[in-house]
Structure 1
Amino acid sequence: MSKVSLVRSIAALCVLATPSIAQNGPSQSLLTSLSPGQSRSVDISLRARIGPLELARGSFKVSLTQESYSGEATYRTSGIAASFNNDAGVATVKGAIDNGQLKPRSFVNQETNGKRRRITMAFGGRSVDVTAAPMWSSMGFPPATLAQKLEAVDPVTGLMELSLVTGRDAGRACGGAVKIFDGKRRYDIRTQYVGTENVSTPAYKGPATYCRGTYTEVAGFNQKKPGESREPIRLEIWLADVGKMGVSVPVRMTGSKGIYTAVLYADRAVVR
């Protein structure tokens, strides 16, 4: 995998700053523990780098009530990476919380550089309606099927689900597969709980829940060039209860493929 390809993936993964219930023994999902009229919000900013070189910056804001949620993620390549691939955009989602499950209703991703493509998705019971302007020249090889779209959620909801929903029976933030569709590409993020490790970032220093996982392409991706690897991106994620608010957030993450390893870390995290 080239450095440029990993830069693109890590820029997209900047939206992985999602909230999760703190891991202090057995716990409910935050999605089922909010009372009527109660809300919770998380605001995180992140940076990604390979070695000393900055690759990307991102931010994530999410608000949850007992019945609904909304989220906004921003991302842009920065530093030397911007000279290879100048990606930037804002993704927003609104949805419902039904019996502890996130149900997206509307999703918008607006690119703010390059072709400035705008992607909108409307989720119905038996359909996922997608519009993109301008349209892609190809829907990928192979393109995502209706069944693959229906089994998935949008990127922001999916990455919230990664920490809020999966592994609840074990009282852990990780442990399962999240299926994501971004309007063209279908991919899976699979994680497994490993244990507890100390971590140090500008936003947090101390013990954190440590998980490993993979980012795997399923459908809708551009056709690989001869000799280009199809191996998944290997992930490591550290989640911590920043500010002792009872909500854990990702404070550090690595993505590795081939000879490159990118590090994503939180430089600011506020939970209210």
Structure 2
Amino acid sequence: MIKKIAAAALALGLALAGPAAAQSGNRSFDGVYSVHARGVEAGDFTYSFRQNGSTYTATAEREMKGWVGAALRRSQDYTYSVRGNVTADGTLRPTQYQHQGGRRRDDRPNGRLVRATFSANDVATTSVPAGMGMGDPPATAAQRRGVIDQITAIAAMVTATGDPCSRTLPIYMDGRSRFDFVLTPNGTVNINSRAYQGPGVRCRVQFRPIAGFGDPQEPATLTFLFARTESGMWAPVTIEMPTDGVGVVRLEARRLTVNGQRLR
């Protein structure tokens, strides 16, 4: 198995854009990204976030296409969903997460279904078919306390207060692998992409593996680029998202929409 570093959009428990906005109101973010893996444009990644007052939902889909998808036999095609609450201080707290995909030989026609239930102090994970391993070594209860999933992590970066590059994200990927993303500022940039042209900020992201990986992991440095929108939310323009099948993939935005308005 190709070395797995971590995962997401991404992913991606940060504060929302200001306490007052965090506690009430509706807002949304949608992104369509090209997936670049092993030096080629290999597929699509779509992401959608909705906040309705003190609750939120987010969904995502990754589909590898062309010869890459054929070579991988759809083993890297996944759908994701999560729902959770927005706390009084604006933190996103997932309650129910699931993903389906992989299409391994012993799985359902659409791949293994994995569900994770988040409580204040722990995360419980189940799978269909049953028997999914929890990594070696599995994350302890203390290591699972206060974590977020990778889909919530993307939403948290989108809705961050202030600089999105000055924080640490405790992530529990797919209800199995535990790691930290440590984000630090890495300067301002002029972005010229299919989805957005204008000023942006660059984050240096240190990956720190903690538990739950089936093979040895080494710390790594990733890069995220964000555009600040008029709404105050941050639009991820480029994200590096490691996977368990094709190494680190790079997501490059083709279309970004904030509160129903397309970014230019």
Residue 182 of structure 2 corresponds to 190
Residue pair 1:17, 1:60 contacting (<8 A) in 2 also: no
Structure 1 position 209, deviation (Å): 1.2
Instruction: Give a deviation string over 1:149-176, Cα, whole Å, max 9, x none.
Output: 12311221223224534xx4xx211112
Residue 77 of structure 2 corresponds to 88
Instruction: Give a deviation string over 1:216-266, Cα, whole Å, max 9, x none.
Output: 321111134xxxxx3233211110135x4432211013469xxx8743210
Residue pair 1:17, 1:44 contacting (<8 A) in 2 also: no
Structure 1 position 90, deviation (Å): 1.3
Q: Identify if the C-alpha distance between structure 1 residues 65 and 33 changes in structure 2 by more than 3 Å, giving closer, same or farther.
A: farther
Choose which of 6, 10, 13 in structure 2 pairs with 1:16.
10
| Helix, strand or coil at the partner of 1:223 | coil
> Which whole-Å CA distance do the structure 1 matches of 2:224 and 2:22 have between them?
29
1:108 counterpart letter in structure 2: Q
| Helix, strand or coil at the partner of 1:34 | helix
Structure 1 position 78, deviation (Å): 2.9
Structure 1 position 56, deviation (Å): 3.5
Residue pair 2:10, 2:241 contacting (<8 A) in 1 also: no
The unaligned stretches of length 5 or more in structure 1 are: 21-27, 225-229
| Helix, strand or coil at the partner of 1:61 | strand
> Which whole-Å CA distance do the structure 2 matches of 1:66 and 1:236 have between them?
31
Residue 106 of structure 1 corresponds to 96
Q: Identify if the C-alpha distance between structure 1 residues 184 and 31 changes in structure 2 by more than 3 Å, giving closer, same or farther.
A: farther
> Which whole-Å CA distance do the structure 2 matches of 1:113 and 1:268 have between them?
28
Matches within 5 A, 1:237-256: 237-241=224-228, 244-254=230-240
RMSD after superposition:
2.8
> Which whole-Å CA distance do the structure 2 matches of 1:39 and 1:204 have between them?
23
| Helix, strand or coil at the partner of 1:113 | coil
> Which whole-Å CA distance do the structure 2 matches of 1:156 and 1:52 have between them?
25
Residue 257 of structure 2 corresponds to 270
> Which whole-Å CA distance do the structure 1 matches of 2:33 and 2:232 have between them?
21
Q: Give me the TM-score of the superposition, normalised by structure 2.
A: 0.81
Structure with more relative contact order (C-alpha pairs < 8 Å, separation 6 or more) = 2
Residue 208 of structure 2 corresponds to 216
The unaligned stretches of length 5 or more in structure 2 are: 260-264
Q: Identify if the C-alpha distance between structure 1 residues 76 and 217 changes in structure 2 by more than 3 Å, giving closer, same or farther.
A: farther
Instruction: Give a deviation string over 1:95-114, Cα, whole Å, max 9, x none.
Output: 11112111211111122633
Residue 175 of structure 1 corresponds to 166
Q: Give me the TM-score of the superposition, normalised by structure 1.
A: 0.78
Instruction: Give a deviation string over 1:114-154, Cα, whole Å, max 9, x none.
Output: 33111112222343221111234532211111111123112
| Helix, strand or coil at the partner of 1:157 | helix
Q: Identify if the C-alpha distance between structure 1 residues 146 and 255 changes in structure 2 by more than 3 Å, giving closer, same or farther.
A: closer
Structure 1 position 215, deviation (Å): 2.6
| Helix, strand or coil at the partner of 2:42 | strand
Q: Identify if the C-alpha distance between structure 1 residues 189 and 162 changes in structure 2 by more than 3 Å, giving closer, same or farther.
A: farther
Residue 25 of structure 1 corresponds to none
Moved beyond 6 Å, runs of 4+ = none
Q: Identify if the C-alpha distance between structure 1 residues 17 and 149 changes in structure 2 by more than 3 Å, giving closer, same or farther.
A: closer
Number of aligned positions between the proteins: 245
2:84 counterpart letter in structure 1: G
